[in-house]
Structure 1
Amino acid sequence: MQNDNELFEGIKHSPDLNPRSEFVDDTRQLLIKKANRISKVSKIKKLSYYWSVAIATVAMIAWTSLFGGNQYIVKSYHNVMSAFPENNVESITASNKNTSVFIYHTHTTESFKPELENKNIDEAYDENKNITLVGAELTSELKKKNINVLHSTTDFDKIVRNRDLDYSNIYDVSGEEVQTVLDKNKNLKLIIDIHRDTQLKKATTIRIDGKDVASVSFVVSENSPNFKENRKIANLFHQKLEKKYPGLSRGVLLKTSQTRNPLLKTSQTRNPYKQQFYNQDLFANSLLLQIGGVENTIEEENRSVELIAEVIDELLVELD
């Protein structure tokens, strides 16, 4: 008995066939019916897909609007984003031998009351309108002077929350980024941690050329192993500001940690942070620079920044 292959081979090599017209018509009708059936099934599947998408969309909107689904989505988004690297500093992972200045902000969300709505002084913190804008302006002014500068806008407050750390650890967290920058940029001359003061406008504002300008101050940790070097660079900066713009600098503030020593003078300022060095132990030419205060405007801050940039330009020459 022949198998299928043998039968097909026989048909392939047989003389041309002349089927009856009835057979041809019946076969045509059968093929048309099958084609129509296949097309109908395809349309039904496609229609079912569209309806499924529409129903899912309506369900998602209802869940989001009526049952608080938006809160779940937002929470999930933040959970996913927190898994990504936390640093936000240009070129932090790339070595740049020409970098002279690194600017960052340990208290990233420090803001200014005039820039916020319905905020009292104790609530002058914001994720967008904050001290990083002042750092960005200083970065811009330094670049105009052909100074190679890195500026970090990393939100260290957020990192502390994400890691479920006590807020007193925030300098440890910002110090991790400082160390990374130091490791990748071997020729840094100056590191500046920019803050704004908590004092009111009367104490943090000076009049220069008929305009209000945010005054500045420097904070140096007496606990830092680099205390002498840290104080030296702060004093030098203060003296240069005082020479060019008398009164713009309110001076260098020395801070020490809490201690149980009963002989400690009460006039000494107590440092509330467990990490007592303000990262000044990581680099000799480290500055904690306070520009203006909680009641100053961004405009007043930026006027100060323009003058500060002039002095940094001079200072870097002496640090060569």
Structure 2
Amino acid sequence: MTRTKLRVIGLSVFLSSFLISLKVIPAYIELNEPKVGTLPEKSQVLMVKEEKIIIQKSSKTIKAEKPNPIASLKNSAVTPTAKRMVQKPKQSEQPRVLIYHTHNRESWLPELQGKTDPNEAFDSKINVTLLGKDLSNKLKVKGMSVIQSAEDYPSKINKFDYAKSYAYSKATLSKELFKHKSIEYVFDIHRDSESKSKTTILYNNVNYAQLYFVVGRDNPNWKQIKKFAARLQNKLNEKIPGISKGIYQKDHSSGNGQYNQSLAEYSALIEIGGVENALEENYRTISILADAIHEIWHEDHNSAI
């Protein structure tokens, strides 16, 4: 073989090796060398195509799949907030406390624009049911199971007669007690008609609406009702001396005499504040009342607060 032929064969081998290297090296460089700056859009597309080719051809590479957001969520750390979102709510405990209102529209002059006559201190929305709602919420925060009936009798009773209010609320109370046999404490929340000077106490330079209890002497269990009121009053006055003005006993000669108290052993009719008290003053008293009820509850169930 001549030297010329050897040179040609050698040159061919060299060119073949060089062309093969041109096909392999670019892909390796694009995929592995660090990126500097931002690639042009077209280059990015080409690089992605090259990556897909390599993934498919390599027998050692795991098949590329789209990320599963659900699987990622399951494997990630779950925060307390996330737990609340995914866990099913627990079934609430049966109600133990019932709050209702015989005179549901009793209101306060400071909260009613344009009204100055105490006899006009009644409203379909701004009334004692707000106190019942506040008491309910504060007891629930303490872990007690509470329901409130805020029936608006004037709008629901045909030919409404104010004098028959206790008959209307008795029907409501009977229905709730029949429906919820777990109820132990019953509270009928009212507003007194006295002026502010007789319904307000100043404690630590803050005004609180005073309250008092009414016991119906015509009930066969009136002594038990009175005892329950006395326990509440003692707790209240321990916290703010004089916030409770007393326990008033009435029979049919001076009032209703029954006040629906024969339906529940632990029942209390509570007059909170007066016609001239502001809602905020009443809410402060509700906080003290909630504390007292909560403490008595734990005493009756031999449990610690």
Category of TM-score, reference length = shorter chain: 0.5 to 0.7
Q: Which amino acid aligns with 2:298?
A: V
| Residues 109-158 of structure 1 deviation map (CA, whole Å, 9 limit, x = unaligned) | 00000001221111000001111111111111111101110011111233
Number of residue pairs aligned between Structure 1 and Structure 2: 210
Aligned-pair identity (%): 38
User: Counterpart of 2:124 in 1: which secondary structure?
Assistant: coil
Quick one: structure 1 residues 181 and 97, their matched pair in 2 at CA, closer, same or farther if it must change by over 3 Å?
farther
Cα distance in 2 for partners of 1:225, 1:190 equals 18
Q: CA RMSD in A?
A: 1.6
1:281 equivalent among 238, 262, 267: 262
Is 1:187 matched up with 2:182?
yes
User: Counterpart of 1:192 in 2: which secondary structure?
Assistant: strand
In the TM superposition, residue 97 of structure 1 has moved relative to its aligned partner by 6.1
Quick one: structure 1 residues 208 and 102, their matched pair in 2 at CA, closer, same or farther if it must change by over 3 Å?
same
2:232 equivalent among 199, 217, 237: 237
Cα distance in 2 for partners of 1:299, 1:136 equals 14
Asked whether the equivalents of residues 131 and 194 of structure 1 are also in contact (C-alpha less than 8 Å), the reply is yes
Cα distance in 1 for partners of 2:261, 2:93 equals 21
Q: Which amino acid aligns with 1:140?
A: N
Q: Which amino acid aligns with 1:154?
A: E
Cα distance in 2 for partners of 1:142, 1:186 equals 19
Is 1:200 matched up with 2:195?
yes
Cα distance in 1 for partners of 2:271, 2:150 equals 16
- The correspondence of residues 1-320 of structure 1 with structure 2, limited to 5 A, is 98-119=94-115, 120-160=117-157, 162=158, 164=159, 166-258=161-253, 270-271=254-255, 273=256, 276-320=257-301
| Residues 155-212 of structure 1 deviation map (CA, whole Å, 9 limit, x = unaligned) | 123334x1x2543221111111111111122221210000010111111111122211
Give unmatched runs, 5+ long, in structure 2.
1-91
Cα distance in 1 for partners of 2:137, 2:217 equals 32
The TM-score with structure 1 as length reference comes to 0.63
| Residues 87-118 of structure 1 deviation map (CA, whole Å, 9 limit, x = unaligned) | xxxxxxxxx86311100111010000000122
Q: Which amino acid aligns with 1:110?
A: E
Cα distance in 2 for partners of 1:252, 1:167 equals 24
Q: Which amino acid aligns with 1:305?
A: I
User: Counterpart of 1:107 in 2: which secondary structure?
Assistant: coil
Question: Displaced runs of 4+ in structure 1, greater than 2 A?
Answer: 156-160, 164-168
User: Counterpart of 2:189 in 1: which secondary structure?
Assistant: strand
